[in-house]
Amino acid sequence: MGLLARFLLLQHRTERSVFLVRQGGRHTEQRQMRSNGMGSQAGAHIAIEDVSHRYRNADGWAVDSVSLTVEPGEAVALLGRSGCGKSTLLHVIAGLIKPAHGRVVIDGRVVTGPSPNWVVMFQQPSLYPWMTVEQNVAVGLRFNGRMKEAATRVPELLELVELSEFRDRNVQDLSGGQQQRVALARALALSPDALLLDEPFSALDAFTRANLQRDVRRITRERGITLVLVTHDVNEAATMADRALIMQPGRIVKSVIVPEAPQSQGDDQQFRLSRAALIEAYEAVAGMSFADIAGQETALGAAEAEPGVFERRVESGRVAAPATE
């Protein structure tokens, strides 16, 4: 077996563990009942109780005594600069990292590992390159012994993410945005109660990114799915979240209610107001204006950028504080 084949087999086994369902118990029975069909469902209630985590040989805490409640069906953005701990906190919620202190409770169950009841979308779609679109979407159903649902469920999901005509295509033939739509359909296949986004749209072009942001928010709102997303993009938080939690290293330092976003960003007054409120709060937390951030970026090598680039980024809301990772 070649090196690539061994790597893909290992990835297959790793992802399989993410989809495994803990059998038995009242919760599983109730969850199976809610999973039959494509209609709206009860979103997850997430309670983060005094969670702390630090990495080996690290100087400080990546997450430091964070407590937080996310209500069923709510969309919450963890907004902050690189290295502030937002991805670590998301991975703790998902059960991918065991916290040093505290616990996460989802729908009354202490999180001890991954579950199909809450699924993560990562920056890379991690699709199986030897499979078709249809086969990739059905992976979770196959791992959980529910392939009898695939004949009806997979076509419905492909229509939902606007990929019906690509069902028989190999995923390697798709664009980056289309691959993330496949990953979204795969994530929804088991009717999760919570969808956790670790910047899955960050590598996409602006047009594709905006479309996916809008579509994911629409889908989760229609289905009552709880949404938690990690982002350093003010526009993304304003578009997708009901509430933005601004993070400084290891801690949540400010909560901002986001008015319901419009269907498209454009020049909508409500979107501009939401974005402005988030920028103002972000600046207050950072203790600096975007002009100050521009000076730091210049020190990091941004001086060679063409004139006006930074100003246009400020106007668009796509400015984050300098990376610390």
pLDDT in tens, 46-95: 999 999 999 998 889 999 999 999 999 999 999 988 889 999 999 999 99
* Sites in the chain below the pLDDT cut of 50: 1, 3-37, 290, 293-295, 297-325
* Both structure tokens of 130: 């030897």
Beta strands 243-248 and 75-80: pairing type? parallel
pTM of the model: 0.76
Q: What is the pLDDT of residues 26-40, one digit of tens each?
A: 343 334 434 444 555
φ/ψ of 19, rounded to 5, equals -95, -10
Predicted confidence at residue 304, as pLDDT, reads: 35
Predicted confidence at residue 217, as pLDDT, reads: 93
Tell me, what DSSP letter sits at residue 302? Answer: G
Domains of the chain in sequence order = 3-259 (3.40.50.300)
* Both structure tokens of 120: 């993560």
Q: What is the C-alpha separation between 194 and 207, in angstroms, rounded?
A: 26
